[in-house]
Amino acid sequence: MEYASFLALRGQSWTDFETRLQSARQRPRGVSYGDLEGLAVGYRQILHDHALASARYPGTGAARRLGRLAVEATRFLYREHRESGSTWVRFWTRSFPEAFRQNLGHTLAAIFLFSVAALFGFSLAVTQVSLGASLLGPKAVRDLENGQLWTESLVHSVPPSLSSSAIARNNVGVALAGWAAGALAGIGALYILFLNGFLLGALFGVTLHYSLAGGLLEFVSAHGPLEITLILVTSAAGLRMGRALVEATDRRRRDVLRIAGRDSLRILLGCLPWFIPLGLVEGYLSPSPLVAPALKGAVGISLLALFWMTAWNPFLSKEQP
């Protein structure tokens, strides 16, 4: 699609969304649930268009405008119009866990698909080492041949403060892509799952060939469990939206999409804050040779357990008002 055609096709919808968003920001107390649902659907399309514009038309006015709209909408929707601390507490103790539980089937499906892709990538890299090594690049392969992981250079090449910020942005981008891509009948979310699973399996297959799989496992042990889980959970939320688009039920499609979109957005908002501590761990702790492997593993397990406790909330009861 040409840039001019892209603007002609989507430009009016961006203007409409910006108008609704500005109105909601000016009168937050007057925003109804219907308005929120409409903003959530429009927000999803803005994220999709932003990903497309960034990939095909980087640096253009449309890409910058969509980026600004995505940031402003994220800030507004993430607040969920919380005017008191009790609403904030309710989101983390009830709204997010309820949405997470409702989507557990899709999360399990995402885990299965990711595992299959990882196993395929691992098997392919073990049997075809040159193919797996091509995913790393020449410098990383030279490091492996010299008995070193490419991750060891992270300690000296980039300050942890900068790498943490870049890591957090990248992880958020992957999570948003998996979530927003669910609008494409779930196909985009499946792509994110298969791609990340395949790459992870292939990396371990290549490092195993050079007897460095243990070092890679040590590197990812602090941040990997939570990072993978967040990608799986957000992609699973995208799968639910994709399923709502194509599944035939006895209810109106508009109602099905509204419920799926509401829960999907809650899951995304419940996952996004976790990328901040995750980026700090991956930037400071994971590449550090001064931290014992056992401590890295303990941090990884603790972060994962804390997330699952928050997402599942064992104290949540159906009878709770």
Please, which contacts does 62-69 make with residues 24 or more away whose CB atoms are closer than 8 Å?
Answer: 62/3, 62/6, 62/7, 62/11, 65/14, 66/14, 69/14, 69/17, 69/18, 69/21
Residue with tokens 């909330």: 313
pLDDT given at position 317: 56
Residue type, 74: T
Contacts of 107 (CB under 8 A, 6+ apart): 100, 232, 233, 236
Half-sphere exposure of 173 toward its Cβ, with a 13 Å CA cutoff? Answer: 12
Per-residue pLDDT of the chain (321 residues; tens, 9 = 90+): 688 888 888 888 888 888 888 888 777 767 777 777 788 888 888 888 888 888 888 888 888 888 888 888 887 776 644 444 467 888 898 889 999 999 999 999 999 999 999 999 999 999 988 887 888 888 888 888 888 887 766 555 555 555 566 666 777 787 777 777 666 667 878 888 999 999 999 999 999 999 999 999 999 999 999 999 999 999 999 888 888 777 655 566 677 777 788 888 899 999 999 998 998 898 888 888 889 999 999 999 999 999 999 999 988 754 443
pLDDT in tens, 17-42: 888 888 887 777 677 777 777 888 88
Reported pTM: 0.69
Residue 83 identity: E
CA-nearest of 25, 26, 33 to 74 is: 25
Helices (H), the chain: 3-26, 33-56, 61-79, 85-90, 96-102, 104-127, 129-133, 138-145, 154-157, 160-180, 187-209, 213-220, 224-246, 253-271, 275-280, 293-312
Q: Are 20 and 42 in contact (CB under 8 A)?
A: yes
- Of 58, 45, 54, the closest CA to residue 18 belongs to 45
Q: How far apart are CA 204 and CA 117, in angstroms?
A: 13
Closest by CA to 187, choosing from 109, 111, 224, 241, is: 241
